[in-house]
Structure 1
Amino acid sequence: MTKEAYVALVTCFNEDETHNYEATRAQVRRQIEAGNNILCAGTNGDFSALTFDEKVRLTDEVVSEAKGKCKVIVNAGMPATFETVKLAKEFDRIGVDGIAVIAPFFIACTQDGLERHYLTVADAVNTPIYLYDIPARTQNHIEPETARKLSSHPNIAGIKDSGGQQETLEAYMQVGKDVEGFDVYSGPDHLVHWALQNGAAGCISGLGNVMPEVLAKIVSCFNAGDEAGAAAAQEIYGNFRKDLYGLGFPPAMVKRALWVMDHSVGASRQPALLPDPEQDKQVEALLKKYELIK
């Protein structure tokens, strides 16, 4: 099976916090050129700061720019099943390749509640649904056994694991091995190569916004049977991750590093952290160290 790389694409804003759709389109083109697919409106895409209509417009812009040159998955997850279904139906209409559904946040859910949530969404659309587990942000965790139960639904195609726990990722991948058509995508940037070696269908990475070519190289080398090349690319990727995330909150640092490289991406909407000139100097030094800028 050919493995795939997705980048959790940033959403670009103007100085007044309105959307800069042209800048977002430019980021789509950049990822296509590197050889990556796209996850739209995810954690690194400021999805929680976007309105319903903005998510629909953003997805339409990304799909229009991609023009079938890469796959596009979009996150529809919201706290309530009702709004999640409404969003999923809009994305279904636009014509995306998959709909990721982040676990409900703010609302505490039982595993039974999570099952009902995902089954309702999967029943409502024709586009394949991907579970999206990131308990550090949602406070709700999709247990591996729950993923196994949900995998029997014909329209639930897999899961994105952003929990960062290797043991949980292993359990999800066992479901993927046992259930045909249930694909597991690794979210943690430091586990890309390991996950590919152990049965993941691919990865969905935020850091790929800053290092798209390195991410693509991990996956392309692996697909070509070049384990040494994949390991070397992963080492660069992992080292940069450690250095960059050592400066602050990961999604914010990804957006800020990209801003240092290209101001058109803008800052995140408030109340995200304000730009810090001293931190920007540290980011700039890192980007030079890794030869991402001159």
Structure 2
Amino acid sequence: MPKQAFVALVTCFHEDETINYDATRAQVRRQVAAGNNIMCAGTNGDFSALTFEEKVKLTETVVDEVAGRVKVIVNAGMPATFETLKLVREFDRIGVDAIAVITPFFIACTQDGLIRHFSTVADAVKTPIYLYDIPARTQNHIEPETAKILAGHGNIAGIKDSGGAQKTLEAYLAVAKEVPGFEVYSGPDHLVLWALQNGAAGCISGLGNAMPDVLAGILKGFNSGDLVDAERQQDIYTAFRTDLYALGFAPAMVKRALYLQDASVGASRQPALLPNDEQDAQIKVILHRYGLL
């Protein structure tokens, strides 16, 4: 099977912080044109700042705009299993290709608690469930042995690893080799090609919002067997990541880099970082360096 790239799509906002659905549709079209699949309501989509009703409408909008041309994954994770269940049932009704479930945040979980949480959610719907590990943001980590146990559930199809550590990614990839049908999607932008070469099913990248064609190029090169070009594109992607993320919190930098290319995406909801003229000037220098402005 060809490897696949998903972009963790930004959610666009008006100046009054209401969702700009038309601008979000435009970002969907941009990613589809590049050849990337979509993940909505993820970390780069300001999911923690969205209401239940907004997440449902946002997902309906994205699915409608995609119109079957690419795949759509949506993040449903919330601190409590109860509200996560409400979301996954709505997303199941809408008809996404898969549902990612970020580990609970604020609530400290044992590994047994995580097993119960994910199993209960996966039992509730027919849509395939993907575990979503990002311990730096949630303070809860899915241990590889826990992932292996959950991989045995008939409706848990894989995991998105956004931990950033190659060692953890290697451990999840080992689980995938042991459990047929369990897929690993890499989150770290600098490990896209490495992950593909080591058995990942693909990647889910936030940086692709600002650089969609290069992300698509890594996948195209790998899938066609042109590793020289895949490595060239990965080098560009890694360098852009290094330059941009040195300026601040990664999702905020991605959103701002995209805003400076297309102001219709808006800023993030407060209390996110406010625009900073000095920082914007630095981002513009980086965007010019990579031919994005």
What's the secondary structure of 1:105's corresponding residue?
coil
1:153 and 2:150 correspond: no
- CA distance in structure 2 between the aligned counterparts of 1:288 and 1:42, rounded to whole angstroms: 28
1:273 and 2:273 correspond: yes
Q: Which position in structure 2 is the counterpart of 1:124? A: 124
Q: Which position in structure 2 is the counterpart of 1:134? A: 134
1:108 aligned partner, one-letter code: A
Deviation at residue 140 of structure 1 after TM alignment: 0.2
1:263 and 2:263 correspond: yes
Provide the identity percentage: 74
Deviation at residue 259 of structure 1 after TM alignment: 0.3
What's the secondary structure of 1:123's corresponding residue?
helix
1:228 and 2:228 correspond: yes
- CA distance in structure 2 between the aligned counterparts of 1:2 and 1:167, rounded to whole angstroms: 24
| Unmatched runs of 5 consecutive residues or more in structure 2 | none
- CA distance in structure 2 between the aligned counterparts of 1:217 and 1:176, rounded to whole angstroms: 25
- CA distance in structure 2 between the aligned counterparts of 1:109 and 1:3, rounded to whole angstroms: 32
What's the secondary structure of 2:31's corresponding residue?
helix
Q: Which position in structure 2 is the counterpart of 1:101? A: 101
Deviation at residue 160 of structure 1 after TM alignment: 0.1
1:164 and 2:164 correspond: yes
Deviation at residue 35 of structure 1 after TM alignment: 0.2
Deviation at residue 36 of structure 1 after TM alignment: 0.2
Deviation at residue 178 of structure 1 after TM alignment: 1.1
Written as runs of structure 1 = structure 2, the 5 A alignment for 1:13-28 is: 13-28=13-28
Q: Which position in structure 2 is the counterpart of 1:68? A: 68
Deviation at residue 177 of structure 1 after TM alignment: 1.1
Q: Which position in structure 1 is the counterpart of 2:92? A: 92
Q: Which position in structure 1 is the counterpart of 2:245? A: 245
- CA distance in structure 2 between the aligned counterparts of 1:51 and 1:230, rounded to whole angstroms: 39
- What is the CA deviation profile of residues 255-284 of structure 1, one whole-angstrom value per residue up to 9, with x for unaligned ones? 000000000000000000000011111111
What's the secondary structure of 2:68's corresponding residue?
coil
- What is the CA deviation profile of residues 167-216 of structure 1, one whole-angstrom value per residue up to 9, with x for unaligned ones? 10000001111111100000000000000000000000000000000000
- CA distance in structure 1 between the aligned counterparts of 2:159 and 2:247, rounded to whole angstroms: 29
- CA distance in structure 1 between the aligned counterparts of 2:178 and 2:11, rounded to whole angstroms: 36
What's the secondary structure of 1:116's corresponding residue?
helix
What's the secondary structure of 2:25's corresponding residue?
helix
1:200 aligned partner, one-letter code: A
1:18 aligned partner, one-letter code: T
- CA distance in structure 2 between the aligned counterparts of 1:27 and 1:273, rounded to whole angstroms: 22
- What is the CA deviation profile of residues 96-116 of structure 1, one whole-angstrom value per residue up to 9, with x for unaligned ones? 000000000000000000000
- CA distance in structure 2 between the aligned counterparts of 1:276 and 1:196, rounded to whole angstroms: 36
- CA distance in structure 2 between the aligned counterparts of 1:179 and 1:115, rounded to whole angstroms: 17
2:72 aligned partner, one-letter code: V
- What is the CA deviation profile of residues 110-131 of structure 1, one whole-angstrom value per residue up to 9, with x for unaligned ones? 0000000000000000000000
- What is the CA deviation profile of residues 46-71 of structure 1, one whole-angstrom value per residue up to 9, with x for unaligned ones? 00000000000000000000000010
- CA distance in structure 1 between the aligned counterparts of 2:213 and 2:48, rounded to whole angstroms: 28
1:80 aligned partner, one-letter code: A
Q: Which position in structure 2 is the counterpart of 1:206? A: 206
- CA distance in structure 1 between the aligned counterparts of 2:125 and 2:40, rounded to whole angstroms: 18
Question: TM-score when scaled to structure 1?
Answer: 0.99
What's the secondary structure of 2:101's corresponding residue?
strand
| Unmatched runs of 5 consecutive residues or more in structure 1 | none
Q: Which position in structure 1 is the counterpart of 2:219? A: 219
Number of residue pairs aligned between Structure 1 and Structure 2? 293
- CA distance in structure 1 between the aligned counterparts of 2:235 and 2:20, rounded to whole angstroms: 34
Deviation at residue 230 of structure 1 after TM alignment: 0.5
What's the secondary structure of 1:194's corresponding residue?
helix
- CA distance in structure 1 between the aligned counterparts of 2:169 and 2:107, rounded to whole angstroms: 24
Written as runs of structure 1 = structure 2, the 5 A alignment for 1:49-60 is: 49-60=49-60
Q: Which position in structure 1 is the counterpart of 2:288? A: 288
- CA distance in structure 2 between the aligned counterparts of 1:226 and 1:184, rounded to whole angstroms: 22
Q: Which position in structure 2 is the counterpart of 1:189? A: 189
1:210 aligned partner, one-letter code: A
2:19 aligned partner, one-letter code: H
- Alpha carbon RMSD of aligned pairs, Å? 0.4
* Deviating 4+ runs (over 2 angstroms): none
